[in-house]
Amino acid sequence: MASKKIKVGLIGATGYGGVGLIELLIKHPSATIIALIDKQGINKAISVTYPHLKGFCDLPVFDPTDPECPDEFDVVFYATPDGVGQRDASRWLDKDIKVIDYSGDFRFNTKEHYASYAERIGRPKEHADPDILTSSVYGLPEFHRREIVNSDLVGNPGCYAVCCILGIAPALKYGLADREGMVFDTKSGASGAGKTPSPLFHFPARHESMNAYKVTGHQHVYEIERELSAVSGKNVRITFTPHVVPISRGIIATIYAHLLQGADMENVREAYSNMYRGEPFVRVFSHGEILSTTDVRGSNFCNISLNIDSRTGKLIVISVIDNLVKGQAGNALQNMNIMMGIGETVGLMHTGNFP
């Protein structure tokens, strides 16, 4: 007898994060999409909005308020901006339906931490449903797998956060790099800004153009600092500069940290090997190997290259992910697999697309 499939509801189905999850779910052997929900593309098949899905997923998109919308799920994904999930998640949790939210709504499990994050990004400091914050878990499996497996509510990490935390954490955990003075120089493809059009992301503005943005106030800094502080056991503050580059998808983070006395490449490689041994989606490359965003495009992998500049005493880590997969939908699906008690890599263990 075939095992029962996991029934999935997807809110925010027509954005990049939504369609990315659909692409993964239609190939997932243990899950089935029950309903697609959004305020865009209502009553149209999702394959009308995204023709590449035709014949693979032709489900209609329901309005969130439609009384005919199915609501019998095992898990609900919110592929939505900040402020949506926190107003609505309890309706599913009260029915014993698990929730995975893409936004910052549930990345912080106290009112105080959420308020600090919200203030930083210019949102109201009061969470719409503070009583459920304490039950939320930060959804980076490589660091919080034990908590995720028993959780009903997971806040999926930010894309930059995934890339940066995985990139530098072992050096801090094993006391090889100075927690002070770290610099994160990050670059993302234009899809990181989402699907909604804007003048800055009009083709003539993006083609052959690069720019820094949110130079001192990017929303992912707060979670990066929190996680790295937990890893190192001491307070961490970082310099973080994000850039948009003229590619569709991908993030590359170049991380600079001062090596502590006695640390060398042998120590560093051992630390990364120890920390990521058995991690299915983290790959550590040899000293000096060149990494590209195309190496992980369309995959759930994070590729890491380790380098030491002996002249300056700096550890230079290169970390790359696909912002729409390991930085979003793929990591969310990885969380679902853990929460539902199935193989963590199911539906995710495939190479990227090259070139």
Going residue by residue through the chain (355 aa), what tens digit of pLDDT does each one get? 357 999 999 999 999 999 999 999 999 999 999 999 999 999 999 999 999 999 999 999 999 999 999 999 999 999 999 999 999 999 999 999 999 999 999 999 999 999 999 998 889 999 999 999 999 999 999 999 999 999 999 999 999 999 999 999 999 999 999 999 999 999 999 888 777 777 777 788 788 889 889 898 899 999 999 999 999 999 999 999 999 999 989 999 999 999 999 999 999 999 999 999 999 999 999 777 889 999 999 999 999 999 999 999 999 999 999 999 999 999 999 999 999 999 999 999 999 888 8
Query: For the chain, what is the HEC assignment?
Result: CCCCCEEEEEECCCCHHHHHHHHHHCCCCCEEEEEEECCCCCCCEHHHHCHHHCCCCCCEEECCCCCCCCCCCCEEEECCCCCCHHHHHHHHHCCCCEEEECCHHHCCCCHHHHHHHHHHCCCCCCCCCHHHHHHEEECCHHHHHHHHHCCCEEECCCHHHHHHHHHHHHHHHCCCECCCCCEEEEEECHHHHCCCCCHHHCHHHHCCCCEECCCCCCCCHHHHHHHHHHHHCCCCCCEEEEEECCCCCCEEEEEEEEECCCCCHHHHHHHHHHHHCCCCCEEEECCCCCCCHHHCCCCCCEEEEEEEECCCCEEEEEEEECCCHHHHHHHHHHHHHHHCCCCCCCCCCCCCCCC
| Structural domain that includes position 120 | 6-157+327-339
Supply the pLDDT for residue 1: 38
Considering the domain architecture, whether residues 29 and 111 belong to the same structural domain is answered as yes
As a whole number of Å, the end-to-end CA separation of the chain is 41
Considering the domain architecture, whether residues 151 and 209 belong to the same structural domain is answered as no
Supply the pLDDT for residue 112: 94
Q: What is the number of structural domains in the chain?
A: 2
Q: What is the pTM of this model?
A: 0.96
Considering the domain architecture, whether residues 99 and 179 belong to the same structural domain is answered as no
Q: Comparing C-alpha atoms, which of 83, 84, 97, 77 is closest to residue 20?
A: 77
Considering the domain architecture, whether residues 53 and 121 belong to the same structural domain is answered as yes
Considering the domain architecture, whether residues 295 and 174 belong to the same structural domain is answered as yes
Supply the pLDDT for residue 22: 98
List the catalytic residue out of 57, 159, 163, 302.
159
Supply the pLDDT for residue 8: 98
Considering the domain architecture, whether residues 81 and 211 belong to the same structural domain is answered as no
Considering the domain architecture, whether residues 15 and 30 belong to the same structural domain is answered as yes
Considering the domain architecture, whether residues 305 and 334 belong to the same structural domain is answered as no
Evaluate whether 246 touches 210 at the Cβ level (below 8 Å). Answer: yes
Considering the domain architecture, whether residues 112 and 180 belong to the same structural domain is answered as no
Q: Is residue 1 part of a domain?
A: no
Residues 6+ apart with CB under 8 A from 96: 152
Q: Judge whether 69 counts as a catalytic residue.
A: no
Evaluate whether 295 touches 320 at the Cβ level (below 8 Å). Answer: yes
Supply the pLDDT for residue 214: 86
Supply the pLDDT for residue 236: 97
* CATH assignment at residue 252: 3.30.360.10
Q: Is residue 351 part of a domain?
A: no
Considering the domain architecture, whether residues 249 and 267 belong to the same structural domain is answered as yes
Considering the domain architecture, whether residues 33 and 165 belong to the same structural domain is answered as no
